[in-house]
Structure 1
């Protein structure tokens, strides 16, 4: 905050005839460029983090989709499994446990 207050004071008191004002303004501009460079670097880092987190999220989604697809195929195989139609017969039941 102090830096921005100093820049405001420098802008209000700027006079090309005074060499110290010119030096102060050049210092303020250099500081601003440094701040801009730092913000751009932080923005680049943040974008890389977002890109990596999106990649991880998309990878997790694709794995979940592959699992769902495999489960759907398994269930489809179970449903379509060939069964031999057979009529009910009492003799097929195990009645040895009954009296």
Structure 2
């Protein structure tokens, strides 16, 4: 079971999680992060570091967000690895907790 970055990361894109990942399984897109399910070792370290609470165990992803399981796997094959914390977008806090952000995902 891998961990999954879910909808609340879109436009928040806090990167606190990448510093603690022992296997560098995070991939970075324009306004979202994903976890490569083939690299994730289920260590859970990233979960507590995510200010947006957007990282969940695959088994805990709510039904309304199950599409994010496949989305993480798909985009992980396309996006580059991110291994160090970067500044969050200036408006990240404003987007934290907003619903219906999938339409805002930039690929």
TM-score tier (shorter)? under 0.3
Q: TM-score, normalised by structure 2?
A: 0.15
Considering only CA atoms, is the larger Rg found in Structure 1 or Structure 2? 1
Structure with the larger strand share: 2
Q: TM-score, normalised by structure 1?
A: 0.16
Structure with the larger helix share: 1
Higher relative contact order (CA 8 A, sep 6+): 2
